[in-house]
Every structure is written in C-alpha cells, then in structure tokens.
Structure 1
Amino acid sequence: MKFTAVVVIAPDDFEDRVIEHAQQAGATGVTILSGKGIGGESKKTFFGLTFEGTQSVLLMVVGSHLTAPILKALHRLLVNGSESRGLAFAVPIEHLTGIDMRQVGKFEEALRREDG
C-alpha cells in the first residue's frame, strides 16, 4: 500500500474545521503543530505593536487513494474566490515505519469498498 503525507498550514481558528473536513474525506489521524509565518503582506500593527497571527500545521499520513478527496475538501474550506485562508499540499511517502497496523487495515478495507 502507498501512503501520502498531507500537510495543511492554516490559521489557528481554522484548525477544527480543517480536521473535520479532512476526516469527512477519509483521514483518520492528525498531528498538530503550532507555528508562525511571514506572508507576502506587511504585518498589521495595533498602537505600534505588531500583530502576528499564529498558525496550525496539521500533518496527516493517509493512503494515497485518499489524497485527492482530502485536498478537494480542504480546497472548499481554504479557498474563497481569490482569497486563500491556508495552504494544503501532499508529499508521497517512499518509506514508512511505525504506523499502527489497525490503520493499515482500515485503509485496505476502504480500498476494497471502492473497488467494490
């Protein structure tokens, strides 16, 4: 079975919605990291203090067959016309160890249902 790492970088207040959309599309687990970023626009200030919004970095290891449905679901959440509220991308995993074998069973079961 082939796996993919799906990475999402989004504002903290989108964290729960990102997880919900990804799970509805088939993701089963997520690792959440906290981060800060520097975008292309200048930072906002408030009374001379610089405001830097925090971001969540969400990492999901999924069966490769789930990559497109998850990214499509995240696109609907993160992209609003020309406005982007986050970034999502996928990277194929060539070697993997330590995955819970129960998860592999779930992935394989989902593949069998799709092949129907």
Structure 2
Amino acid sequence: MKFTAIVVIAPDDYEDKAIEYAQRAGATGVTILVGKGIGGEAKKSFLGLTFEGTQSVLLMVVGRHLTAPILKALHPLLVKGTESRGLAFAIPIEHLTGIDLRQVGKFEDYLRHEDD
C-alpha cells in the first residue's frame, strides 16, 4: 500500500470546514497543529505592527488513491477566484510505521470495492 501526507495550511476559522471536506473525500485521521503566518501582503494593525494571523496546519496520512479527491474537495474552500485562503499540498511517503492497522484495513477494503 502506498501512502501520501497531505498538509493543509489555512486560517483558524477554516479548520472545521477543511476537516469536514477532507473527511467527506476519504480522509480518516487528522493531526492539527497551530501556527502563525504572514501572507504575501503583510497586514498592518492600527499601531503599525505587522499582523500575524493564526493558522491551522492539518496533517493527514492517506492512501495515495485518495490524494487527488481530497485536494479537489479542499479547492473550493481554499481558493476563491484569484484569492488564496489557504494552501494544501501532498508529499509521497516512502516508508511508514505506526499507522493504525484499522486504517490500513479501510484502505484495503476501498481497493477491493473500488470497481463496484
């Protein structure tokens, strides 16, 4: 079985929706990290200080066959016209240990019933 790590970086207020969209597309588990970020255009506060927005960093390990469906599901949430409201990308995983065997079973069931 081949796996991919999907990383989603989005504003905190998009966290729940991003998880919901990813799970509907087949993601089973999500690790949530907290981060800070500055976009391409830094925003200024009334004191002239640079605003650093709080970001959610979502990490999912999924079967490689789920990568495109999950990224496609996240696209409408993260992109509106020419405006980016977040970022999602995938990284192939070469070696993996410690994954919940129930999750592997779900992936295997999916592959067996993929043509149904």
Please give the range of the TM-score, normalised by the shorter of the 2 chains: over 0.9
Determine the C-alpha separation between the residues in 2 that align with 1:18 and 1:46.
31
What's the counterpart of residue 2 of structure 1?
Answer: 2
What's the counterpart of residue 20 of structure 1?
Answer: 20
State the Cα deviation string for residues 23-67 of structure 1 (Å, max 9, x = none): 000000000000011221123212444432100000000000000
- What pairs up with 1:1-116 in 2 under 5 angstroms? 1-116=1-116
The gaps in structure 2 that reach 5 residues or longer are none
Give the SS at the match of 2:45.
strand
Determine the C-alpha separation between the residues in 2 that align with 1:54 and 1:42.
13
The gaps in structure 1 that reach 5 residues or longer are none
Q: What RMSD in Å do the two structures reach over aligned CA positions?
A: 1.1
TM-score w.r.t. structure 1 length?
Answer: 0.94
Structure 1 segments (4+ residues) deviating >6 Å: none
Determine the C-alpha separation between the residues in 2 that align with 1:28 and 1:54.
25
TM-score w.r.t. structure 2 length?
Answer: 0.94
